[in-house]
């Protein structure tokens, strides 16, 4: 089970010998801004090329105490929102000369199980997408000087930064849209109930509905899972008092719900029921669904995430920073249109209720 003899690579000393210089000179040749004569550097680079030398990032990390690796913990990869985020995250981190160590395959909620792994690799930063971290571990990170950014989740704890959108306002906006559309019976298909994102969206939705006199919301839980969302939809949509307006906590579940509504239950959308989702993710935009959905500006969110990381890594100051973005209700065909409030902005139809 272990006979592997990995050939040890070319070292800086070997290059040094070849080039007739010291190991230090080799090191400096690969360090931007180091004090090294151009011709020496040229000699070194030539020798390095001949030998196929590449600096050993592992050894470098040992001395610099910087790994140039950012850990990303991500769940729900079957929700295209996250692969999108992942791809851009990888791109931006690469631009900053950082690598991305991915941890996946665990559920939402607590990332504690993988925490040891992260720490062992002395990552320079941590991004937790669609998941959170226990209070004890957050503080351990802060103590160790490792910046942590929650993506699309929040927590009240300090020392942990976050990047989110105004989910409460988003929920309100959805309610206003559905109310303006003249709907009467409101439903909600929840994500993971413990997630801040889900709680806030529901809170805003409920709030705005209550202000309009609608205090009853039919709720089922989908846990951000396609199959569970479909089961929830079956329950909700076969009731005698079936809602005529349904807010689904994200698009990943919304398209699943639409499949059930249309193909299992034979409902017409939006004639029989209006459906509004969240995220404005790929499939929601596809013609077969055309989900009316609260968009999240994920590009800017990822940019903010990387900005926070880089700033904290470079300054060494771990001060929790909370970036909150605005969403926009993108209007498509999955929900009845209100008489007014739908406007065209930058090629998209969005809902902006008049004041």
Partner DNA sequence: CTCCATAATGCATACGCATGCATTACCGAG
Partner DNA sequence: CTCGGTAATGCATGCGTATGCATTATGGAG
Catalog residues that contact DNA under the rule CB under 7 A.
Answer: 8-9, 11-13, 20-25, 27-28, 30-31, 35-41, 53-56, 59-60, 62-65
Stretch 290-349 residues interacting with a second copy (CB under 8 A): 313-316
The residue from 52, 240, 347, 354 that contacts a second copy (CB under 8 A) is 52
Does residue 145 contact residue 316 with C-beta atoms inside 8 Å?
A: yes
How are beta strands 274-279 and 245-248 bridged, if at all? parallel
Instruction: Please report how close the Cβ of residue 146 comes to DNA at its closest, in angstroms.
Output: 14
Task: Please choose which of DNA, a second copy, none residue 82 contacts, taking the beta carbon within 5 to 8 angstroms, the exact cut-off set by kind.
Answer: a second copy
How is the chain split among helix, strand and coil, in percent rounded to 5? Answer: 40, 20, 40
CA angle, 213 then 217 then 220, to 5°: 170
The residue from 236, 289, 302, 304 that contacts a second copy (CB under 8 A) is 289
Assess 268 for contact with a second copy (CB under 8 A).
no
Nearer to DNA, 25 or 304 (CB): 25
Assess 55 for contact with a second copy (CB under 8 A).
yes
Look at residue 254 and give its three-state secondary structure: helix
Tell me the window of 172-180, 209-217, 231-239, 254-262 that interacts with a second copy (CB under 8 A).
254-262
Assess 2 for contact with a second copy (CB under 8 A).
yes
Q: How far is CA 109 from CA 138, 172, 330, 355, in A?
A: 14, 25, 29, 38
The DSSP output letter for 338 is: P
Chain-centre distance for alpha carbon 197: 12
Instruction: Please report how close the Cβ of residue 79 comes to a second copy at its closest, in angstroms.
Output: 9
Nearer to DNA, 36 or 179 (CB): 36
Instruction: Please report how close the Cβ of residue 37 comes to DNA at its closest, in angstroms.
Output: 3
Alpha carbon distance 146, 312 (integer Å): 8
The DSSP output letter for 110 is: B
Instruction: Please report how close the Cβ of residue 262 comes to a second copy at its closest, in angstroms.
Output: 7
Assess 121 for contact with a second copy (CB under 8 A).
yes
CA angle, 281 then 183 then 259, to 5°: 40
């Amino acid at each position: 089970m272990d006979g592997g003899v990995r050939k040890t690579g070319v070292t800086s000393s070997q290059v040094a010998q070849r080039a007739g210089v010291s190991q230090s000179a080799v090191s400096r040749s690969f360090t931007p801004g180091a004090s090294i004569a151009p011709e020496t550097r040229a000699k070194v680079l030539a020798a390095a090329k001949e030998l196929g030398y590449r600096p050993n990032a592992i050894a470098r990390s040992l001395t610099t105490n910087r790994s140039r690796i950012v850990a990303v913990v991500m769940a729900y990869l079957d929700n295209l929102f996250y692969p999108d985020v992942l791809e851009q995250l990888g791109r931006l981190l690469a631009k900053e000369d950082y690598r991305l160590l991915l941890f996946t395959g665990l559920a939402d909620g607590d990332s504690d199980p993988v925490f040891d792994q992260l720490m062992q690799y002395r990552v320079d930063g941590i991004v937790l997408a669609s998941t959170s971290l226990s209070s004890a571990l957050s503080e351990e990170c802060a103590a160790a000087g490792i910046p942590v950014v929650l993506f699309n989740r929040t927590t009240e704890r300090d020392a942990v930064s976050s990047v989110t959108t105004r989910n409460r306002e988003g929920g309100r906006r959805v309610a206003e849209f559905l109310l303006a559309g003249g709907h009467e019976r409101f439903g909600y298909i929840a994500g993971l109930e413990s997630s801040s994102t889900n709680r806030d969206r529901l809170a805003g939705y409920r709030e705005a509905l209550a202000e309009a006199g609608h205090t009853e919301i039919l709720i089922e839980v989908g846990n951000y899972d396609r199959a569970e969302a479909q089961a929830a939809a079956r329950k909700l949509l076969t009731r005698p008092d079936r809602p005529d307006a349904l807010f689904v906590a994200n698009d990943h579940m919304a398209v699943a719900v639409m499949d059930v509504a249309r193909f299992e239950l034979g409902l017409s959308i939006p004639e029989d029921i209006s459906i509004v989702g969240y995220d404005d993710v790929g499939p929601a935009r596809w013609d077969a669904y055309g989900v009316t959905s609260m968009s999240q500006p994920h590009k800017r969110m990822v940019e903010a995430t990387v900005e926070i990381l880089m700033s904290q890594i470079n300054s060494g100051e771990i001060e929790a920073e909370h970036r909150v973005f605005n969403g926009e209700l993108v209007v498509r065909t999955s929900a009845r249109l209100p008489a007014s409030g739908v406007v065209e902005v930058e090629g998209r139809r969005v809902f902006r209720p008049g004041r």
